[in-house]
C-alpha cells in the first residue's frame, strides 16, 4: 500500500515539474518571425552558400586540393606572354556536389579570404545549370551560372541574401 501511494505522489510531482517548465516558457516573449518578409540571421559559425572574390584570389589551388567532394575548379590567369600569373581567370563551385564542410575556406591563405561561407540559407535552383556557380573578374560575390540554352552567363534569380554585406573571416 505504501508503494502505491509513493508511486502516485512521485507521478504527481513529475507532472508538476513538467508543468513548471511549461508555465515558465509560456510567459516568455514570443520570437515568431513573419517569414517571407523577415528572416532570422544565423549564428556566426553557420555555413551557408559559398561566395568568392576574384580580386582577392591568388590562384594557389589550395581550396581545390582541400575539397573532399571535388566540386571546385579554377583556372589561372595568364599574361600576354602566356605565363601564369597569381590571379584567377575563372572559378566554379558545383553546389550539387558541395557538402559545405568549410575546408576550402580554412585552406585559403589570403587575408581576407577569397572563398567564404555566407549566412544565406535559402539557395534556390530551378535547373541543374544553376547549381554550378562561376566567377570571373567583374562578377559579384554570388556568382553567375552558365545557361546552356542561351549560351551565356546569367545571374541567379530567386536567391535572397540575408545580409547585403557578407561576413568574411580574416
82 Rama sector, left if φ>0, alpha if ψ -120 to 50, beta otherwise: left
Q: Which of 1-10, 44-53, 90-99 has the lowest mean pLDDT?
A: 44-53
Distance between CA atoms of 21 and 95, rounded to whole angstroms? Answer: 42
Inside any domain, residue 103:
yes
- The CA angle 31-163-41, to the nearest 5 degrees, is 25
Contact 104, 91 (CB under 8 A): no
Q: Which domain holds residue 13?
A: 1-30
pLDDT of res. 38: 77
Q: Between these two residues, 164 and 32, which has the higher pLDDT value?
A: 32
Check whether residue 23 and residue 58 sit in a common domain: no
Check whether residue 20 and residue 68 sit in a common domain: no
pLDDT digits (tens, 9 = 90+) for 47-89: 888 888 888 889 899 999 999 999 999 988 888 888 888 888 8
Contact 62, 120 (CB under 8 A): no
Check whether residue 21 and residue 94 sit in a common domain: no
> pTM of the entire structure?
0.68
Inside any domain, residue 71:
yes
Task: Report the number of distinct structural domains present in the chain.
Answer: 2
Q: Count the residues in the chain.
A: 170
Check whether residue 24 and residue 76 sit in a common domain: no
Distance between CA atoms of 16 and 20, rounded to whole angstroms? Answer: 6
Mean pLDDT of the region 140-153 = 80
3-state secondary structure string, the chain? Answer: CHHHHHHHHHHHHHHHHHHHHHHHHHCCCCCCCCCCCCCCCCCCCCCCCEEECCCCCCCCCHHHHHCCCCCEEEEEEECCCCCEEEEEEEEEEECCCCCCCCHHHHHCCCCCCCEEECCCCCCCCCCHHHHEEEEECCCCCCCEEEECCCCEEECCCCCCCCCCCCCCCC
Mean pLDDT of the region 109-114 = 90
Check whether residue 97 and residue 21 sit in a common domain: no
Inside any domain, residue 170:
no
Mean pLDDT of the region 28-56 = 81
Inside any domain, residue 167:
no
Check whether residue 57 and residue 140 sit in a common domain: yes
Inside any domain, residue 22:
yes
Amino acid at each position: 500500500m505504501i508503494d502505491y501511494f509513493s508511486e502516485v505522489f512521485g507521478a504527481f510531482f513529475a507532472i508538476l515539474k513538467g508543468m513548471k517548465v511549461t508555465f515558465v516558457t509560456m510567459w516568455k516573449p514570443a520570437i515568431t518571425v513573419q517569414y517571407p518578409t523577415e528572416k532570422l540571421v544565423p549564428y556566426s559559425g553557420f555555413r551557408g552558400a559559398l561566395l568568392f572574390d576574384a580580386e582577392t584570389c591568388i590562384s594557389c589551388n589550395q581550396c581545390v586540393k582541400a575539397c573532399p567532394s571535388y566540386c571546385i575548379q579554377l583556372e589561372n590567369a595568364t599574361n600576354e606572354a602566356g605565363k601564369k600569373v597569381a590571379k584567377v581567370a575563372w572559378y566554379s563551385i558545383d553546389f550539387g556536389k558541395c557538402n559545405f564542410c568549410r575546408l576550402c575556406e580554412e585552406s585559403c591563405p589570403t587575408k581576407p579570404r577569397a572563398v567564404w561561407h555566407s549566412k544565406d540559407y535559402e539557395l534556390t535552383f530551378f535547373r541543374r545549370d544553376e547549381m554550378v556557380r562561376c566567377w570571373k573578374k567583374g562578377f559579384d560575390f554570388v556568382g553567375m551560372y552558365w545557361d546552356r540554352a542561351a549560351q551565356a552567363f546569367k545571374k541567379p534569380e530567386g536567391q535572397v541574401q540575408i545580409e547585403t554585406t557578407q561576413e568574411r573571416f580574416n
